[in-house]
Structure 1
Amino acid sequence: MNILFIHQNFPGQFRHLAAHLARQPGIHVRAIGREQAPGLAGIRLHRYRPHRRAGKNTHPYARTFEEGVLHGQQVLRLLLDLQRQEGYRPDLVIAHPGWGETLYLKQAFPHTPLIHFCEYYYRTQGADAGFDPEFPLALHSAAAIHSRNALHLLNLENCDLGVTPTRWQHGLHPAAYRDKIRVIHEGIDTANLGPNPNAVLTLPDGRQLKAGDPVITYVARNLEPYRGFHRFMRALPKLLQAHPDCQIVVIGGNDVSYGSRPKDAPDWRTKLLRENPVDPARVHFLGKVPYATYRSALQVSAAHVYLTYPFVLSWSLLEALACGCPVIASDTAPVREVIRHGDNGWLVDFFDGDALVERMLHALADPRDGNGLRERARRSVRDYSVDKGIRGYLTEMERLLGHSFATIQAKVHQIEEIS
């Protein structure tokens, strides 16, 4: 059986599923990604690059769609080349369609089942857009968002099955398509995450922070308002004054994953440090770090802060819970699906800086966690394990294909015995 993964940044959300399938007898896994995709050991990756960007004269509302067409066109060319040169035909395709790669896949393989990772369907109300009054949604931007969904509507129409990580993300999609979308989180590596009473985080200046120290952690792929970085930074001066011994560890880059850069500074870190001066001996910006360093930071954390607009749920929230961190999170969707206030973490109003400071001070005052919140945090993410995510995908894949993977493997064993 040939299974093809398509993801601009392969493996992306398919890391664990692709690796699992690649280990199975009788299953041959390939992938398609852009030229910068990191790839995955043991899986053949075909790289593509659009021959141009959207035109300068393309209407701003249609630019995302044109970019999608260019991605889809290039992937179609690649698929047709594989078909012609190698006789390649996938039996199943699993793809993230957000950049348009699968727009024309059915032109090459009309009968091949297609599973889409339906990460997000944009809304002008009730989600990220217009959530933060500091960044009001202009009419121009709302119109562009509305047009952007043309690509996603085609993606929903093209696929045979959709998968999305949370119930809230599922509910963002048009009602007409929800029946074909399943809620399956891809999972985090809970087996290699957990508390470590001997954890040590070495700072750039050589100092060491240890489990049990008064350490607050904050993590985001990039430091920006979508992940509440501005709210966190504005709370720090009051926290540092109220607790003279605490240390703050911030992990994340200075680029922009979502939204835009500030108009008066090169990045949000520069802008917010200028507006909220803090002691660099106590607030440590580590940038982007190796996974082992990130895990150590979570394991020494006395409280982990996770703030977000109503948007895609970050793996870092689940990984912090898996490490037994007392998590202080924004009372926003889909965080509420994971955090039960006072049970496995705490929820605070995204815009209430005083409540955030109060909750951080509370966590620092009870480092031994007398009420067992850390253990409940760990237990609460069992439903987000890699194993459960893989099982969920396999169930839907077998249903779509009409036979089980055990049947495929049994046939492989029979052939091996005959030969």
Structure 2
Amino acid sequence: MQTHTATTPFGRRPMTLGLISSQVTAKKIDQGATVSKWRVFRDIREAKEVLGATDRALAILNALLTFHRDEELSGEGNLIVFPSNEQLIRRANGMSPATLRRHLANLVTSGLVIRRDSPNGKRFARKGQGGAIEQAYGFDLAPILARAAEFRELAEAVAAERKAFRVVKERLTICRRDVTKMIDAGINENVPGNWRAFQRRYEAIIARLPRTAPRQALEALADELEDLWADVHQTLETFVKSEDSNANESHSERHIQNSNPDFNPTGEIKSGLRKKNEASGSAEHADNVRSLPRRDLPLGMVLSACPDIVHYAEGGQIRTWRDLGAAADRARPSMGISPSAWQEAAEVMSPQHAAIVLAAILQRAEHIRSRGGYLRDLVERARQQKFSVWPMITALLNARMSELEKAAASGAAGGSPAGQGAEPRGDAGSLEISSALRDSMKKKGW
């Protein structure tokens, strides 16, 4: 006679559809199915939040598994364990009976175990001949074996979600750091851009960031921050590229150097060069282009040739090309050069070369009647690749060197301190060029 297996809980505990579902699942076990009970337990522990199991419930499940003597759960073996509450409390580190009952109910509700209650609610096993268990009442571990593959998939999904959450938090942290520091760099370096608008966009995004948020909300905020990062980075990158192209333009553009510099010490334009036929002089232009230096003019050389531009510098000092450009922009109105002429010169020559040209014009301003017209003429020649700033600056340096040599000679003849070894000074300050550059200029006839 086959013994009836109890399917309803003892006492006042009600029967639910969830319990029936767990029992149906437990019947879908293949006879040859086996699984390591501790590996499945690890998967259940990883997916406990998805399953709805509590930490204490898992401690009790761990204790229940210790009452199953085999290391593996098998479809051919007995999967019902029947420890008393006292034994469970001892192996669950001494939790109270009320806590034990509450979390045992959690294991049943989560579908991890099934109650197999006896008629009187006690847990025990009835053995037959030979000591084999014929009937057992307690907790059935069959759902763990039946749902082992499901628990593994849930554990992998939880691990993937945890990794995605960690990655989006890293994205968010890096974007916040990059955006704030790039905005500070743009403001501190005076880079043209709407930095206040960038700052307001950043503050609006961060204001919507809660203390605890799901991954989807963090990904949406991270996407907005990355869009802001792209806009800020593009603003800085565009400015840096424009600065680099302006600084290196003289390496790629074609210049021309004439044996008679087109800006002579008196500041007048050679009429012969203006009326020269381009077709007949093309070969000469190419030779002069190859003979020019392939590097930018040193800033110190420009200031030595054009010391008057320093009076227009903020603080009376020029340390960088940007300082020179700012000083040239301040000097432009007093020289009668229109904004349109100045803008055209910057576009055709590059801002750096336009500032050098304006400093040279200022240095010989008293010899030039129409400075604006002269600048436009040089711009037109630069557009036709017939102009270089090198001859202009070297001509001014030669003129200043000649003046200083004459001053030194007259001082030596008159017994002045200059004749006793003092450094001769011009009317606009000392000419600060190296001896190597001086020798090179003399050797090339500049």
So what's the TM-score if we normalise by structure 2? 0.19
Larger % of strand: which?
A: 1
Higher relative contact order (CA 8 A, sep 6+): 1
Larger % of helix: which?
A: 2
Q: Based on CA coordinates, which of the two structures has the bigger radius of gyration?
A: 2
